[in-house]
Amino acid sequence: MLKIFNTLTRQKEEFKPLTPNEVKMYVCGPTVYNYIHIGNARSIVAFDTVRRYLEFLGYKVKFVSNFTDVDDKMIKEANREGITVPEVADRFIKAFYEDIAAINVQKATINPRATDNIQEIIDFVKALIDKGYAYESDGDVFYRARKFQHYGELSDQNIDQLVEGASEHIGETEFDKKQDPIDFVLWKKAKPNEIKWDSPWGEGRPGWHIECSVMSTKYLGDTFDIHGGGQDLEFPHHENEIAQSEAKTGQKFVNYWMHNGFVTVENNEKMSKSLGNFVTVHDLVQKTNPQVLRFFLSSTHYRRPLEYSEKNLQKAADNLEKIKTAYNNLKFRLDGATDETDDIQAKVEQIVADFKAAMNDDFNVQNGLTEIFNLVSLANNYSAQDEVAKTSVELILKTLTELTSILGIKLDEQKDLSKEIQEMVDQRDQARADKDFATSDKLRDRLKEMGVILEDTPQGTRWHIND
Annotated binding site: 28, 212, 237, 241, 273
| pLDDT attached to residue 408 | 98
Q: Answer yes or no: is 308 within a domain.
A: no
Peptide bond into 236 cis (omega under 30): yes
Q: What CATH number is attached to the domain comprising 388?
A: 1.20.120.640
Q: Does residue 277 sit in the same domain as residue 422?
A: no
Residue type, 66: N
| pLDDT attached to residue 258 | 98
pLDDT tens-digit series, residues 408-461 = 999 976 544 566 777 778 788 787 877 888 878 877 887 776 677 777 776 677
Instruction: Tell me which residue of 408, 371, 375, 404 sits closest to 297, measured CA to CA.
Output: 408
Q: Does residue 272 sit in the same domain as residue 342?
A: no
Q: Answer yes or no: is 300 within a domain.
A: no
Annotated binding site for Zn(2+): 28, 212, 237, 241
Strands 22-27 and 224-230: parallel
Q: Does residue 361 sit in the same domain as residue 217?
A: no
**Residue 9 — pLDDT band, cuts 50, 70, 90?**
very high
| pLDDT attached to residue 276 | 63
Helix (H) or strand (E) holding 128: helix 118-130
Q: E strands within 238-378?
A: 254-260, 263-264, 306-307
Q: Answer yes or no: is 5 within a domain.
A: no
Checking if the pLDDT of 203 tops 70, the result is yes
User: What distance in Å separates the CA atoms of residue 132 and residue 146, rounded to the nearest whole number?
Assistant: 12
Q: Does residue 269 sit in the same domain as residue 347?
A: no
CB 138 within 8 A of CB 154: no
Structural domain total, the chain: 3
| pLDDT attached to residue 274 | 61
Q: Does residue 86 sit in the same domain as residue 142?
A: yes
Q: Does residue 249 sit in the same domain as residue 202?
A: yes
User: CA 414 from chain center: how many Å?
Assistant: 25
Helix (H) or strand (E) holding 400: helix 390-406
Q: Does residue 403 sit in the same domain as residue 431?
A: no
DSSP summary character for residue 330: H
pLDDT tens-digit series, residues 208-257 = 999 999 999 999 999 999 999 999 999 999 999 999 999 999 999 999 99
Q: Does residue 426 sit in the same domain as residue 373?
A: no
CB 308 within 8 A of CB 271: yes
Annotated binding site for ATP: 273
Q: Does residue 281 sit in the same domain as residue 380?
A: no
Q: What CATH number is attached to the domain comprising 213?
A: 3.40.50.620
| pLDDT attached to residue 164 | 47
Q: How many CA atoms does the CB half-sphere of 136 hold within 13 Å?
A: 15
User: What distance in Å separates the CA atoms of residue 83 and residue 75, rounded to the nearest whole number?
Assistant: 10
Q: Does residue 344 sit in the same domain as residue 454?
A: no
For 419-443, letters b (16+ CB in 10 Å) and e give eebeebbebbbebbeeeeeeebeeb
Q: Does residue 394 sit in the same domain as residue 344?
A: yes
Q: Answer yes or no: is 235 within a domain.
A: yes
Which is higher by pLDDT, 150 or 168?
150
Which phi and psi angles does 453 have, rounded to 5°? Answer: -100, 130
Cβ neighbours of residue 432 under 8 Å, at least 6 residues apart? 440
Cross-strand pairs, 224 = 254
Which is higher by pLDDT, 159 or 269?
159
pLDDT tens-digit series, residues 13-66 = 999 999 999 999 999 999 999 999 999 999 999 999 999 999 999 999 999 999
Which residue segment(s) compose the domain that 327 sits in? 315-407
Least confident stretch, 115-129, 262-276, 312-326: 262-276
| pLDDT attached to residue 459 | 63
CB 128 within 8 A of CB 142: no
pTM: 0.88
Strands 3-6 and 11-14: antiparallel
Residue type, 269: E
Q: Answer yes or no: is 160 within a domain.
A: yes
Q: Answer yes or no: is 325 within a domain.
A: yes
| pLDDT attached to residue 165 | 42
